[in-house]
């Protein structure tokens, strides 16, 4: 059981990091798009 958990943990960490990056990018887009529209 512990071996399976050790194999799952790194993958979960990677997916969590990926989800965090996607969330950051989406928030940046939501914040940045209005400014781009205003500047253009």
For residues 23 and 39, what is the distance between their CA atoms, to the nearest angstrom?
24
Spell out the domain ranges in the chain. Answer: 1-40
pLDDT in tens, 15-35: 889 999 999 999 999 998 888
pLDDT in tens, 1-20: 577 767 777 778 888 899 99
pLDDT score at 28: 92
pLDDT score at 19: 93
Per DSSP, 18 falls in state: H
Phi–psi pair at 5, nearest 5 degrees: -65, -40
The model's pTM is: 0.56
For residues 12 and 5, what is the distance between their CA atoms, to the nearest angstrom?
10
pLDDT score at 30: 92
């Amino acid at each position: 059981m512990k071996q399976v958990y050790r194999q799952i943990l790194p993958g979960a960490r990677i997916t969590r990091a990926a989800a965090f990056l996607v969330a950051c990018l989406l928030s940046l887009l939501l914040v940045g798009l209005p400014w781009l529209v205003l500047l253009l």
